[in-house]
Amino acid sequence: MLAPTSTATTILYVEDNPVNVLLAERILELRPAVRLLAANDGAAGLALATTRQPDLIFLDLHLPDLGFEQVLQLLQVGQDTRDIPVVVVSADAMADDVARLRAAGAVDYLTKPFDLRQFLALIDMVMATAPTDRADRSEMHTDTRDVRIRALITGLTDAIRPNWTQPV
């Protein structure tokens, strides 16, 4: 994991498979200004999200303790976490999943293994729009930030993603 800095973008990856976390760590070596936090289940992810308030959360679709819907709902109602964009990740790549997950409140859906270009493009977008430190974040109107980040992520991934009407 990267050492904390005051200007680092923080990403929380809630994933029970340590190999997938290691892969994300290795990919993020290409982005030294990003600090990765990892949690191996939903409860630990919720605790880290509340205490650390990351700029982005990658949430595994299949966790050992809580369903992604429950984790996502708890993030959405938490005062300290409701404005953090959440991208669901899973090896399940069904066309209907994207619409269902977005309707549940996820800003997007990434398939595992990660498409390196898409993964880094999401990180770069968050780095470009995230406040530079926690003081800036608390002063920023969170609804505006959330809407802007959601629109950017959706637009970016829709442009990068292959046509989801095609069988995967």
**H, E, C per residue of 11-31:** EEEECCCHHHHHHHHHHHCCC
Fill in the DSSP letter of residue 10. E
Average pLDDT, the chain: 80
- In this prediction, residue 122 has a pLDDT band, given cuts at 50, 70 and 90, of confident
- What pLDDT score was predicted for residue 168? 39
Question: What is the DSSP secondary-structure string of 120-160?
Answer: HHHHHHHHHHS-SSHHHHHHS-HHHHHHHHHHHHHHHHHHH
Taking only the tens place, the pLDDT of each residue in 40-90 is 999 999 999 999 999 999 999 999 999 888 999 999 999 999 999 999 998
**pLDDT for residue 38 is more than 80:** yes
158 CB neighbour count, 10 Å cutoff: 11
**pLDDT for residue 154 is more than 80:** no
- What pLDDT score was predicted for residue 133? 46
Q: Which two tokens stand for residue 106?
A: 């996820």
Superfamily of domain 9-160: Response regulator (3.40.50.2300)
Distance CA 145, CA 124 (A): 16
Taking only the tens place, the pLDDT of each residue in 126-147 is 888 765 544 444 444 445 445 5
